[in-house]
Amino acid sequence: MQDQYRTVAREGVHESEINRSRFLCALAPAATEEEAQAFVARIRREHPTATHNCYAYVVGADASVQKASDDGEPGGTAGVPMLQMLLRREVRYTAAVVTRYYGGVKLGAGGLIRAYGGAVGEALDALGTVTRRRFRILAVTVGHQRAGKLENDLRATGRTVREVAYGDAVRIEIGLPDAEVGAFAAWLADATAGTAALEIGGEAYGDA
């Protein structure tokens, strides 16, 4: 499993013009391949008169799902350069659609490759990316009398409190890198005089 990956910070569109052709690159986060395909379909509906709507998407922290389409451009001149730009920037869980309105000047294969790859690179620069790091989900269960101070101590020491649930006891969910779990368990026992229960859960990705 990857320790971290980048994804586009938000959905958006960046436009550029090359030899009178307009290139509009739409980017969006996509948690699943279905989300990526739905985004591609939506952009195509928004630009029904465009000459081409080429796309590429990468899903999975390890880039396990990769798809690209030239949508009528010469083979390998549009979708593949777009995909390569996403992979080169280590961007995951992201869909890109480059909509081209032909301006009357042919770009040639090399020009198309530069235009489509460059459109994705410029859009990533314009919209920005965020890094997600892998962490372990931990659940701390503690009595009500200690919960408030413990939650404050957790936040004060820079730990990410994901969720707090109140019942017979208080359950506080946090995320930590695997390497810090042992030290955290020792800290927790000391901070709560051994009264807190610690449950180690699965893995997830979150903000760096």
Domain boundaries, the chain: 4-127, 132-207
pLDDT at 135: 86
CA atoms within 13 A on the CB side of 104: 1
d(CA 34, CA 175): 28
- Whether the CB-CB separation of 105 and 19 falls below 8 Å is answered with yes
pLDDT at 112: 97
- Whether the CB-CB separation of 13 and 127 falls below 8 Å is answered with no
Q: The domain 132-207: what is its CATH number? A: 3.30.70.240
pLDDT at residue 130 greater than cutoff 70? yes
Q: Which CATH class is domain 4-127?
A: alpha beta
d(CA 172, CA 188): 12
- pLDDT tens profile 32-88: 999 999 999 999 999 999 999 999 999 998 999 999 999 999 999 999 999 999 999
pTM over 0.85, yes/no: no
pLDDT at residue 125 greater than cutoff 50? yes
Mean pLDDT for all residues in the chain: 93
pLDDT at 207: 65
CB proximity list for 156: less than 8 A, separation 6 or greater: none
Domains 4-127 and 132-207 share a fold: no
> pLDDT-derived band of residue 208, with 50, 70 and 90 as boundaries?
very low
pLDDT at residue 181 greater than cutoff 80? yes
Between 10 and 135, the more confident residue is 10
pLDDT at residue 177 greater than cutoff 90? no
pLDDT at 4: 82
